[in-house]
A and B are shown apart, each in its own frame.
Chain A
Amino acid sequence: MYRIILTRLAQGLLTLLLASMIIFGATEILPGDVAEAILGQSRTEEALATLREEMGLNRPAIVRYFDWLGGMVQGDLGTSLATKRPVADMIESRMWNTLRLALLAAAISVPLSLALGLWSAMRAGGKVDKTLAMTTLALIAVPEFFIGLILMKVFAVELKWLSASANTRPYFDFWQNFRALALPVATLSFAVLAHMMRMTRSSVINIFTSPYMEMAALKGLPKRRLVVRHALPNALSPILTVIALNLSYMVSGVIIVETVFGVPGLTRLLVDGVTLRDIPLIQACAMIFGAVYILLNLLADVLSIMANPRLRYPK
């Protein structure tokens, strides 16, 4: 078992390395270089040459890649072109805002979608199931900003119950924090709820229709024991995968939500970086999100291997 987990970890590390190559490559193949981007229209040949020398852009791309990667590993994320501040400082102050948003949304959407998915699966084909299936099918296709704007219009603009800005201050008490965060958290939860529910439903149904469940039911086991002893341990691994997949899906959801509600978070920093073409900032932010995404998927795999003995022996 440990060997498989270790192999999986090594694979994850390799993926991360590939991701870093993609990020570095994508920002390197642009026509012109960072020096041209900094100097803009007013550049002269001499200034360009000096700046390139200063930033070490004359070295071959492969050397710069390893230099950049080495810096990343040691926590040196480079210097922002737009603000001239270290990227690490800029990220540090904003990381918590994004993390808090994602954690709160996960704390709400995961139990809710698991419960709804299970309920739907227990009554497969029934009225509840059909209604939920239709609703989630529609919800999946609704853009996050539409959900966010509707919630904002109703609760912040019309009813004035909640705040439309998620910009919290350190001196805020619990209720002020709640008012500020309720809408972005709700929007983000909505964005992953439908997906997670549908995936939970199908994996639970998959298990309920398997031969050993039929066997256990025919044996006359009470329903409680059927669910707790037979279905749940087997359902654990697909459900963990579902959760990790959707948490990583939040990475793209959170980009929209932070923009809608003006959260001063990490993705806002990334989008600003893209607008200003601040390459070191883009690289660092993309690397962080990529790492989180890959880590979550890795976690799901490892947990599934631990929960399900069948996965420990690859064919």
Chain B
Amino acid sequence: MSDATELPTPRASIFAGLRLTWTAAIAGSVLLFWLILALFGPWIAPHGEAEIISGTTFAPIGEGGLLGTDKLGRDVFSRLIYGVRTTLLLALITTVISFAFGVTLGFAAAILKGWFDIVVSRIVEAFMAFPSTLLALVVIGAFGTSITVLVLTVGLVLSTSVFRVSRALGYDIGVMDFVEAARARGEGTWWILTREILPNSMAPLIAEFGLRFTFSILFLSGLSFLGLGVQEPAADWGLMVQENVGGLFLGSSAALIPAACIASLTVSMNLLVDWFQQRQQGETVLEKIDQ
């Protein structure tokens, strides 16, 4: 599998090799769209992140700004563009934190085994026996709402599941023949981890990363919606929903638009992960040789 890059590729194009389904293609384009908007947002947004552009609050779509104005008369369109940065960046940071903790501890538990494995597994089990939202609420209640607390809490809460996945992967791959062979050759633990276990657990870990990323977006926007996540005047999609719920009864869609954007992001991510998993499962030995 890892040698595939050295062989000449007979594929006509990258896209044919990806074997995209139409759902995956749409989901991928949606994600790409948001990613580009996140990268170039400040140059595209017509107004500032917290700039009040109109005296009319909850102006309908087309009046005031392109998508109307929010409860303070800010441009919904501009805040949406700034919001995608916050939403994606925070989700990325929390997922990376959860992987840094989860994968390190998970593989360490699988390789070291013994008391280390037992102690860490028990602690993780205790945390998992508890609804994750509740855990986050308790910690945020104790430390107050700040971005650092938010990111660390959600990152740690998510890491329990990453730990389980990577520990199981480490255990499964650790007993395979080629790992035994490497051990018999006298390779060190570090070599076995980085050259044998890690490359072979890449695909499930990538899928897990996608799932955790989706969950992180949902989790963070849920907290922001409760008023316990990102705080004003920063623009965040979950926060925008919370700010503008009241406008729903005045005929404004300022709350619905960011909510729909979150849904578009998470649904696309979910579909893409599903496609990736199916593709991994479907990859037969023949296809691998073909590549």
| A interface, CB within 8 angstroms of B | 15, 18-19, 22-23, 26-30, 134, 137-138, 140-146, 149-150, 152-153, 157, 164, 248-249, 251-252, 255-256, 259-260, 270-271, 273-275, 277-279, 282-283, 286, 289-290, 293-294, 297
Instruction: Report B-chain residues with C-beta under 8 Å of the C-beta of A150.
Output: 256, 259
Q: What are 24 A-B contacts defined by CB distance under 8 Å?
A: A18-B126, A22-B127, A26-B138, A27-B138, A28-B142, A29-B142, A142-B267, A143-B218, A143-B222, A143-B259, A143-B263, A144-B222, A145-B225, A146-B259, A149-B256, A157-B249, A157-B251, A164-B248, A251-B131, A271-B137, A290-B131, A290-B134, A294-B129, A294-B130
B241 lies within 8 A of A22 (CB): no
Interface hits, B246-266 → A, CB 8 Å: 248-249, 251, 253, 255-256, 259-260, 262-263, 266
Cα A137 to Cα B214 with chains together (Å): 12
Size range of the interface on B? 35 or more
Instruction: Report A-chain residues with C-beta under 8 Å of the C-beta of B263.
Output: 141-143, 146
Cα A249 to Cα B144 with chains together (Å): 25
Identify which of B44-52, B104-112, B269-277 touches chain A. Answer: B269-277
Q: Is the C-beta of B60 less than 8 angstroms from some C-beta in chain A?
A: no
Cα A255 to Cα B140 with chains together (Å): 15
Instruction: Report B-chain residues with C-beta under 8 Å of the C-beta of A251.
Output: 131, 133-134
A149 lies within 8 A of B126 (CB): no
Partner of A149, one of B127, B141, B241, B271: B241
A138 lies within 8 A of B270 (CB): yes
Q: Given A138-B271, A293-B131, 4 other A-B contacts at CB below 8 A? A: A141-B263, A143-B225, A282-B137, A290-B131
Instruction: Report A-chain residues with C-beta under 8 Å of the C-beta of B221.
Output: 143
B135 lies within 8 A of A22 (CB): yes
Cα A256 to Cα B27 with chains together (Å): 26
B139 lies within 8 A of A141 (CB): no
Cα A286 to Cα B228 with chains together (Å): 16
Cα A144 to Cα B147 with chains together (Å): 23
B142 lies within 8 A of A19 (CB): no
B222 lies within 8 A of A274 (CB): no
Instruction: Report A-chain residues with C-beta under 8 Å of the C-beta of B260.
Output: 146
Cα A279 to Cα B144 with chains together (Å): 11
Interface hits, B204-221 → A, CB 8 Å: 214, 218, 221
Cα A19 to Cα B135 with chains together (Å): 10
B137 lies within 8 A of A270 (CB): yes
| B interface, CB within 8 angstroms of A | 23, 125-127, 129-135, 137-144, 214, 218, 221-222, 225-228, 238, 241, 245, 248-249, 251, 253, 255-256, 259-260, 262-263, 266-267, 269-271, 274
Distance of B255 from chain A, by nearest CB (Å): 6
Partner of A274, one of B140, B225, B251: B140
Instruction: Report A-chain residues with C-beta under 8 Å of the C-beta of B245.
Output: 149, 260
Cα A229 to Cα B140 with chains together (Å): 50
Instruction: Report B-chain residues with C-beta under 8 Å of the C-beta of A134.
Output: 23
A-B pairs under 8 A by CB, number: 140
Take A26-B139, A138-B267 as given contacts and tell me if A149 and B259 are in contact as well, using a CB distance cutoff of 8 Å: yes
Partner of A289, one of B131, B227, B251: B131
Distance of B25 from chain A, by nearest CB (Å): 14
Instruction: Report B-chain residues with C-beta under 8 Å of the C-beta of A29.
Output: 142
The 3 A-B residue pairs whose C-beta atoms are closest, nearest first, are: A252-B133, A141-B266, A274-B141
Cα A67 to Cα B140 with chains together (Å): 24
Partner of B248, one of A143, A149, A255: A149
A153 lies within 8 A of B126 (CB): no
Partner of A255, one of B23, B141, B226, B238: B226
Partner of B228, one of A157, A164, A274: A274
Instruction: Report B-chain residues with C-beta under 8 Å of the C-beta of A141.
Output: 214, 218, 263, 266-267, 269-270
Take A18-B129, A282-B138 as given contacts and tell me if A30 and B227 are in contact as well, using a CB distance cutoff of 8 Å: no
Take A157-B249, A255-B226 as given contacts and tell me if A143 and B262 are in contact as well, using a CB distance cutoff of 8 Å: yes
B259 lies within 8 A of A145 (CB): yes
Instruction: Report B-chain residues with C-beta under 8 Å of the C-beta of A274.
Output: 137-138, 140-141, 228
* Chain B CB within 10 Å, residue with most, of A28, A145, A275: A145
Cα A207 to Cα B72 with chains together (Å): 56
A297 lies within 8 A of B129 (CB): yes
Cα A15 to Cα B122 with chains together (Å): 10
Cα A290 to Cα B269 with chains together (Å): 30
Instruction: Report B-chain residues with C-beta under 8 Å of the C-beta of A26.
Output: 135, 138-139, 142
Distance of A83 from chain B, by nearest CB (Å): 16
Instruction: Report B-chain residues with C-beta under 8 Å of the C-beta of A282.
Output: 137-138, 141-142
Q: Which residue of B lies closest to A251 (CB)?
A: B131
Instruction: Report A-chain residues with C-beta under 8 Å of the C-beta of B138.
Output: 22-23, 26-27, 274, 282-283, 286
Q: Which residue of B lies closest to A12 (CB)?
A: B129
Cα A23 to Cα B132 with chains together (Å): 12
Instruction: Report B-chain residues with C-beta under 8 Å of the C-beta of A18.
Output: 126, 129
Partner of A15, one of B129, B141, B214: B129
A137 lies within 8 A of B227 (CB): no
Instruction: Report A-chain residues with C-beta under 8 Å of the C-beta of B248.
Output: 149, 152-153, 157, 164
Instruction: Report B-chain residues with C-beta under 8 Å of the C-beta of A283.
Output: 138
Instruction: Report A-chain residues with C-beta under 8 Å of the C-beta of B226.
Output: 255-256, 259, 271
Take A29-B142, A279-B142 as given contacts and tell me if A143 and B266 are in contact as well, using a CB distance cutoff of 8 Å: yes
